Structure 1
Amino acid sequence: MKKMLTKLKMSLTNNIGLKFLAVLIALVLWLAIVNVNDPEKTITVSNIPISVTNESAITSRDMVYNVKSEQYLNITVSGKRSIVSNLSAEDFRATASLKELSKVNSIPVDVTAKNASLGRKITIVKQSAQTILVDVENLEEKDFTDLVVEYTGKVADGYVAGLSSMSTDEVTVKAPTSIIDKIKKVAVRCSLDGTNTNISKKCPVILYDKNNKEIKSDEIELSDKKIRVNVNVLRAKQVPISTINKDELGKPADGYVVDDVILSSDSITVYGSEESLDSIESLDIQDDIDVSDAKGDVTQNIDVTGKLPKGLSVSGESTITVKVLIKKLITRTFEYDASEVSLNDLSSDLDVQLVTKKVKVTLQGEEEVISQLTKDDMAISADLGKVKEGTTTVHVDVAVPDNTTLMNNVTIKIKAKAK
Structure 2
Amino acid sequence: MKMKRFFGKLVRVYNKIIHSNLFLQILSLILGIVVWFSIINVVNPQNETVVSVPVEINMEGSIPEHYGLSVLTTETEPLYATVRIAGSRTNIFAFNSSEIKAEVDLSSVTESGGYSLNINVTSTDDNLEIVSVEPSTVFLEFDRIITRSFDVNLNFEGEVADGYVMTESQVYPRTVDISGPQSVINNIKEVYIPVNISGKTEGVTATSDIIIVNEDGNLTDRTFLTISSENVSYSYNIYYRKTVPLTIDRRNNISGDESSYTTVEIIPETVTIGGTKSVLDEITEVKIETPIALESITGSSQSYVFNLPENENYVYLDNQEMTASVTVSFDSAVRTRIYTLSRSAIENFAFVNLPEGMTATIASSSIQIPIRSLSSYLNMLSSSDITGTIDFSQTNDSGQYLVNIQINEEMPYGVTQRIYVDVDLS
- Which structure is larger by alpha-carbon Rg, 1 or 2? 2
With normalisation by structure 2, the TM-score equals 0.40
